[in-house]
Amino acid sequence: MSAATTKWVGRPVRRVEDARLLTGRGTFIDDHPPTGGVHHAAIVRSPHAHARLLGYDVAAALAMEGVVGVITGEDVAKSTRPFSVGVTAPVRYYCAATDKARFVGEPVAVVVARDRYLAEDAAEAVTVRYEPLPVVTDPERALEPDAPVLHEAVGTNLAGHRRLVYGDPDRAFGEADVVIRERFRFPKYGSTPIETYGIIARWDPLEGVLTVWSNFMGPFIMHPLTARVLGLPENKLRFIVPPDIGGSFGIKTSIYPYIALVGLAAMKTGVVVKWIEDRREHLLASSSGTDRIAERELAARRDGTVLGMRFKWLDNVGGYIRSPEPGCSFRPTGNFVGPYGFQHLEVDASVVMTNKSLTGPNRGYACGHLYFETEGMMDRLAERLGLDPAEVRRRNLLRPEQMPYRTPTGGLYDSGDYPAAFDRALELAGYSELRRRQARARAEGRSFGIGIALAVDPSVSNMGYVATALDPQFRAKPEYLPKSGAVDAATLKIDPLGRVTAILATTPQGQGHQTIVAQIVADELGLAPDDVTVVDEMDTFTRVWSISSGTYSSRFGSVGTSAVALAARKLKRKLCEYAAHLMDVPADQVEFSQGAVRRTNAKGPAYSIKDLAGRGHWHTDSLPAGMEPGLQATAVFGFSGAKAVDAEDRVNSSNTYGFIAEVMAVEVDLETAAITILRYVTVHDAGTIINPMIAEGQIYGGALHGLGGALYEELRYDESGQLLTATFMDYLVPTATEAPVIDIAHVVSPSPLTPLGSKGLGESSSMTVPAVIANAVSDALAPLGVRITELPMTPDRLWRLIRQARKPT
């Protein structure tokens, strides 16, 4: 068989999804009731950041006409189990507060009524008696001996702690010519998709089946976890995801506790229960990235060679630790060293619980934190050594001949030419000219700065990384079940007229899976994308799926597309065998090209897909002996490099690794502290690009999300644990006027691990923008000695730094 020609892959094919979405015919969770008799839930939430629950009075709510039921923490404690958590500390995390509320907005009761207006009226009529307790929101304070303790059974607010040592960091620091130290703070910010969480739950008591429609994005490990919480066998819990999800960016992973809560409400009230999260609930209590305090140390030689680093992290996961946390600390384990060649590293990670909302994946999951710190350190090294920041990076970059590269922390970088991509970014930005402009601007008293950030962009997390949170001794116990894997499945079937239906188990949130799959299948089978219908409505009862299924961790471009390509190739092999049988020649004398099976010597008739499909469906007797009837194939693609964490805490925490090189130029108005982005270049190596239009869209979106975290967005709390940014008037999502113009370029180093050579790209610049703009602003303010170590850089905060620096000492 010849390799597929790429007529469609690599082209900016217009999206299949757009027609329905542009005309108001999308099917989002709140749009089309999948079943009759829907009632509506409103959730009663704790107004206290920390309080003991003393009792509930639900009589007034139940007395209201149209209210069908109220469930409280007592029901939750009685009828559900706590969720499994990713640490060994005995944190009991239920789907609603049972003994204490541990953050403002934590669910304490659910009211079910005829409509949402009434449900909200009734929720106000529920009285919950609280005994307020002392509050702690700062992770450093939370670890002090006299701090209020959130979970008495744990006895401390430390949910977990790991000290990971790779190589010999003590020796590296001992031998270093220079050692640099810095403290960083990364803010708590969220995803705020424009569509909030939504759930519809139906309990069928005679069958004992709970069906839940929701905009859950996976991973589907949360399905068995939720079944266990509700005491249901897994085959009696059905998760269905509608075709359209209104954005996620990580956050819709963390909807699953609500699935349990709304599911319980359906089971208790006997009616179909629908709950659509409102924006205040979303900001108060959905999920966010962690806020982190980081102490960084870097050891280097005088020539700029980095010898080793030490990371000391306090990651604040809020009132409980909810899976997949503490991914905030460990998701990037394999790429802790980023694109650099140093071999010695110590990571001291403390996961702390405080009276804030819970955390979880948010675009770039933990990588925005990682690179903000690392790239800040690289600039400080350059400054200390009097080197250009580009030069100091170049001296440490991994070289293409080192690929595939095993990092000291266990990552396997599959491909890449980092220096070439970096040079491309510098060239595109006109780096030397920018430096000249900077010199002129400084001479005029203006604050012009240039930032650089480089990053390894991990895609397709290996489920195994979560066990890095556990001690090796714990993992060594015989009863411990190791974890690993990253798989996706796809099914292709050919109808009697030769058209193809592709069935996926993914949960796209705007990434255009239907378009991309149609492109891949069209190329593989010599069809037009229009001949391919793609169905991606996840349903745990009907789809082929596994623990790691879902659309998260930039998976689709890498693992999902691979499953599709493999299924197509499997199908092609069958078509070839079938046609060879019809031609009465050995299968190795035929090939598939341009949508038909032909003899390799080009003699005799060709059998088109349509032809084979017609025969195969109508005349099964024409199939070769022993061939399974039906023209369909299911392929499950998994990465062989996804292994469990080893005894030395090494783990290939993702499966494909791209590269990002960015250069940004800014000017800071010293009077107002306003930051203007003058130039922003981003170069990506994500392997084969399947649809450049969609790829660019991901980069633009990721970059603006990162900019939000760097400049605008923060879930800010006061000392009593009240959220100060609980509306879109205070939680500032960037608008079109704040969005920078971006110059995007690609360097292509196909992955040797995927059939198409593609890697993920979904998180992309969300993980580099905080670093690149912080470095650019630091560079702009370098003459004043101002360095950015804390985000977001609000104008007020920046103005204070400038004022402080200008004060005569």
Partner 1 sequence: MKPPRFEYHAPTTTEEALGLLARYGGEAKVLAGGQSLMPLLNFRLVRPAALIDLNRIAALAYIREVDGQVRFGAMTRQRAVEFSPVVRQRLPLLTEATRWVGHLPIRTRGTIGGSIAHADPAAEYPAVLTALDGEVVARSARGERTLRPRDLFQTYLTTTLESDEILTEVRLPAMPAGAGYAFEEFARRHGDFAIVGIAALIALEGRRVVRARLATAGAHPVPCRLRAAEEILERDGLNDEAIAAAAARAGELVEPDSDIHASADYRRHLTGVLTARALKRARARAGER
Partner 2 sequence: MPGPVAVRLTINGTPREGRCEPRKLLVDFLREDLGLTGTHVGCEHGICGACTILVNGEAARSCIMLAVQAEGSEIVTVEGLARDGRLHPLQEAFREHHGLQCGFCTPGMLLAALDFLRMHPDPTESQIREGLSAVLCRCTGYQGIVNAVKAAAPVLRGGEHRP
The smaller minimum CB distance to partner 1, of residues 504 and 726, is found at 726
Q: How far is the CB of 703 from partner 2 (least distance, A)?
A: 6
Which of partner 2, partner 1, none does residue 21 bind (CB under 5 to 8 Å by kind)? partner 2
Phi, psi of 717 (to 5 degrees): -120, 150
Report the distance separating Cα 467 and Cα 479, nearest Å: 14
Query: Can you name the residues that pair with 397 across neighbouring β-strands?
Result: 340
For residues 222 and 322, the answer to whether their CB atoms sit within 8 Å is no
Query: Which listed residue (64, 158, 733, 782) binds partner 2 by CB under 8 A?
Result: 733
The smaller minimum CB distance to partner 2, of residues 49 and 695, is found at 695
Q: Is 198 exposed, middle or buried (0-12, 13-18, 19+ CB in 10 A)?
A: buried
Q: Is 175 in the site for partner 1 (CB under 8 A)?
A: no
Residue 438 corresponds to which tokens in the numbers above?
A: 């900077």
Residues in Cβ contact with 132 at an 8 Å cutoff, skipping those fewer than 6 apart = 48, 50, 51
For residues 744 and 699, the answer to whether their CB atoms sit within 8 Å is yes
Residues in Cβ contact with 117 at an 8 Å cutoff, skipping those fewer than 6 apart = none
Residues in Cβ contact with 640 at an 8 Å cutoff, skipping those fewer than 6 apart = none
Q: Is 794 in the site for partner 1 (CB under 8 A)?
A: yes
Write the DSSP assignment of 292-320 as a string of letters.
EEEEEEEEE-TTS-EEEEEEEEEEE--SS
Q: Where are the beta strands (DSSP E) in 58-157?
A: 67-72, 100-101, 107-113, 127-132
Question: x/- site string to partner 1, residues 656 to 675, per CB under 8 A?
Answer: ---------------xx-x-
For residues 462 and 651, the answer to whether their CB atoms sit within 8 Å is yes
Q: Is 593 in the site for partner 1 (CB under 8 A)?
A: no
Q: Strand 447-461 relative to strand 487-494: parallel, antiparallel, unpaired?
A: unpaired
The smaller minimum CB distance to partner 1, of residues 118 and 566, is found at 118
Report the distance separating Cα 595 and Cα 60, nearest Å: 68
Q: How far is the CB of 801 from partner 1 (least distance, A)?
A: 12
Token pair 């999206």 is at which residue? 15
Secondary structure of residue 202 in the 3-state scheme = strand
Q: How far is the CB of 337 from partner 2 (least distance, A)?
A: 29
The smaller minimum CB distance to partner 1, of residues 124 and 175, is found at 124
Q: Is 416 in the site for partner 2 (CB under 8 A)?
A: no
Q: How far is the CB of 453 from partner 1 (least distance, A)?
A: 24
Q: What is the dihedral of CA 568, 569, 574, 576, to 10 degrees?
A: 120
The smaller minimum CB distance to partner 2, of residues 192 and 316, is found at 192
The smaller minimum CB distance to partner 2, of residues 481 and 729, is found at 729
* DSSP character at residue 683: E
Dihedral sign from CA coordinates of 586, 587, 588, 591:
positive
Q: Is 120 in the site for partner 1 (CB under 8 A)?
A: yes
Secondary structure of residue 701 in the 3-state scheme = helix
Question: x/- site string to partner 2, residues 24 to 43, per CB under 8 A?
Answer: xxx-x-xxx-----------
Q: Is 415 in the site for partner 2 (CB under 8 A)?
A: no
Within 12-147, residue ranges assigned H as helices are 18-22, 59-62, 73-79, 116-125, 139-142
- Residue from 261, 286, 256 nearest 273 by CA: 261
Q: Is 541 in the site for partner 2 (CB under 8 A)?
A: no
Q: Is 63 in the site for partner 2 (CB under 8 A)?
A: no
Query: Which listed residue (280, 394, 570, 581) binds partner 1 by CB under 8 A?
Result: 280
Phi, psi of 309 (to 5 degrees): -140, 155
Which of partner 2, partner 1, none does residue 196 bind (CB under 5 to 8 Å by kind)? partner 2
Which of partner 1, partner 2, none does residue 122 bind (CB under 5 to 8 Å by kind)? none
Query: Which listed residue (74, 140, 177, 278) binds partner 1 by CB under 8 A?
Result: 278
The gap between the terminal CA atoms of the chain, to the nearest Å, is 76
Question: x/- site string to partner 1, residues 721 to 760, per CB under 8 A?
Answer: ---xx-x-xx-x-xx-xx----------------------
The smaller minimum CB distance to partner 2, of residues 244 and 488, is found at 244
**584 dihedral zone (left: phi>0; alpha: psi -120 to 50; beta):** left
Report the distance separating Cα 387 and Cα 371, nearest Å: 20
Query: Which listed residue (140, 170, 278, 646) binds partner 2 by CB under 8 A?
Result: 278
Query: Which listed residue (195, 297, 325, 373) binds partner 2 by CB under 8 A?
Result: 195
Number of residues that bind partner 1 (CB under 8 A): 29
Residues in Cβ contact with 146 at an 8 Å cutoff, skipping those fewer than 6 apart = none
Q: How far is the CB of 132 from partner 1 (least distance, A)?
A: 22
Q: Is 430 in the site for partner 2 (CB under 8 A)?
A: no
The smaller minimum CB distance to partner 1, of residues 332 and 740, is found at 740
Report the distance separating Cα 44 and Cα 55, nearest Å: 13
Q: Where are the beta strands (DSSP E) in 332-419?
A: 344-352, 405-406, 412-413
Q: Is 790 in the site for partner 1 (CB under 8 A)?
A: no
Q: Is 111 in the site for partner 2 (CB under 8 A)?
A: no
Query: Which listed residue (474, 728, 752, 785) binds partner 2 by CB under 8 A?
Result: 728
For residues 258 and 275, the answer to whether their CB atoms sit within 8 Å is yes
Query: Which listed residue (8, 405, 448, 712) binds partner 1 by CB under 8 A?
Result: 712
Q: Is 191 in the site for partner 2 (CB under 8 A)?
A: yes
Q: Is 21 in the site for partner 2 (CB under 8 A)?
A: yes
Task: Show contacts with partner 1 in window 383-402 (CB under 8 A).
Answer: none
Q: Is 200 in the site for partner 2 (CB under 8 A)?
A: no
**362 dihedral zone (left: phi>0; alpha: psi -120 to 50; beta):** beta
Q: Is 114 in the site for partner 1 (CB under 8 A)?
A: no
Query: Which listed residue (52, 114, 116, 236) binds partner 1 by CB under 8 A?
Result: 116
Report the distance separating Cα 90 and Cα 81, nearest Å: 13
Please choose, out of 286-294, 301-309, 311-319, 796-804, the segment that lies near partner 1 by the rule CB under 8 A.
796-804
Report the distance separating Cα 160 and Cα 154, nearest Å: 10
Which of partner 2, partner 1, none does residue 724 bind (CB under 5 to 8 Å by kind)? partner 1
| Footprint on this chain of partner 2 (rule: CB under 8 A) | 12, 14-15, 17-26, 28, 30-32, 116-117, 191-196, 244-247, 249, 276, 278-279, 509-512, 693-694, 696-697, 699-705, 727-729, 733, 735-739, 741-742
| Footprint on this chain of partner 1 (rule: CB under 8 A) | 116-117, 120-121, 124, 278-280, 671-672, 674, 712, 716, 724-725, 727, 729-730, 732, 734-735, 737-738, 794-796, 799-800, 803
